Amino acid sequence: MEYKQVLRGYYDTENKVKAIDLLTDQPYYIEDRPDMKQRVERAINFKQLLAIYQRGTRNGFKYIEQNDFNQPTEQKVIKQNKMIGKPDDFIISDLKWKYLTRCIDKGKNLMFVGPAGTGKTQIVFKAAEALEKPIFYFNLGSTQDVRSALIGNTYFKDGTYFEESAFVTAIKTPGAVILLDEISRANPEAWNILMPVLDVNIRKLRLDEKENSPVIDVANSVSFISTANIGFEYTAARSLDRALVDRFSIVEMDILDKDQEMKLLKLKCPHLDPVVNEALCDISFRVRMECERENSKLSSIISTRTLIEAAEMSIDGFSIDEIAELIIYPHYSDEGGTDSERIYIRQLIQKYIQKGDKEDLFTDDDFRALDNYDF
């Protein structure tokens, strides 16, 4: 039997009866049809579909089971995005991993924001690898000659010739992942060049350094993934142009809690002493808690990158106090004397440091003896 409409009923947020025509995937208007509302509501209650067919000059109605209804072969089937397996040596929420891989798979633009050292760049490489996509890396924060890096160079030797940049090669590669790292540190001229490239309605780059200024189209399924450090502590970062930001979907990078950091260090450094693992992650946790307080005495957290380096140094024979001296204290200012960030972080870490052999440490009896000592 050929149906004119096949209605799937549902209750909306105000508990009103609504219906969708499955043949067109469009809402079916029943607000002024009490008879239709009753039919659709009956179908809802019995978990059925309401089919409408032509019966002479009038409509006929039939209730059919949902499993018995076959979508027309010509109807577009929407492919659900299944989550690609996450990497074993990286911790990120299922939701953000699924969204990242979905954006890459569909050739969309995505911006990861968050503190330095949280793995924003690394996770993009892992996603491209999981999806078996070619990836091109461009560090915009260290790019000095923007036009040369993004467009190309004109050379004068035995005539004039133009050499396209690696960026042009990248955008002409179908399915490529183009990682625009440190976009918040880029020269504003780079932003201006990228504007039409990132615009979903344009996706073009003009090679105005080349003769006749040809226009290059971005290839199919190319995704642009950028990273940005955003916050008052990043003094070298620029305030991103609103029009540029609007060309991306924004995702905040996860900041790991203590248990997640301990799990990560165990994954990255399986030979790390568990006691040292907990001490390092507890230091990181207490620093993070201080940074989140109002009127905090510290301006920045200990990054995941620094924490992993500290774990590797411990395996190589460095003590916690040596690690702190080399790679933690330099991140905190010593301005302000006894009220400086450096003094605060030193006092915090000193609680985790044991100097000398246990025989050399003061015992409770030693402290009691000092209390009774007659000066």
pLDDT per residue as tens digits for the range 241-268: 788 989 999 999 988 999 999 999 999 9
pTM over 0.75: no
54 phi and psi angles, rounded to 5 deg: -85, 125
Token couple for 353: 């440091």
pLDDT the model gives residue 359: 46
Token couple for 332: 């905190």
Whole-number CA gyration radius for the chain? 31
Looking at residue 53, the DSSP 8-state letter turns out to be E
Residue ranges in the chain modelled with pLDDT below 70: 71-82, 230-239, 354-375
In one-letter notation, the amino acid at residue 17 is: V
**pLDDT averaged over every residue in the chain:** 86
| ∠ Cα 281 284 286 (to 5°) | 110
How large is the greatest C-alpha to C-alpha distance in the chain, in angstroms?
115
pLDDT the model gives residue 344: 94
Strands 204-206, 152-156: parallel, antiparallel or unpaired by DSSP?
unpaired
Strands 215-217, 204-206: parallel, antiparallel or unpaired by DSSP?
antiparallel
Which ranges of the chain would DSSP assign to H, the alpha helix?
34-45, 94-105, 120-130, 146-150, 166-171, 188-198, 242-245, 258-268, 274-292, 304-315, 320-323, 341-350, 364-371
Q: Are 188 and 210 in contact (CB under 8 A)?
A: no
pLDDT the model gives residue 232: 37
Q: What does the pLDDT look like over 305-328, one tens digit per residue?
A: 999 999 999 999 999 999 999 999
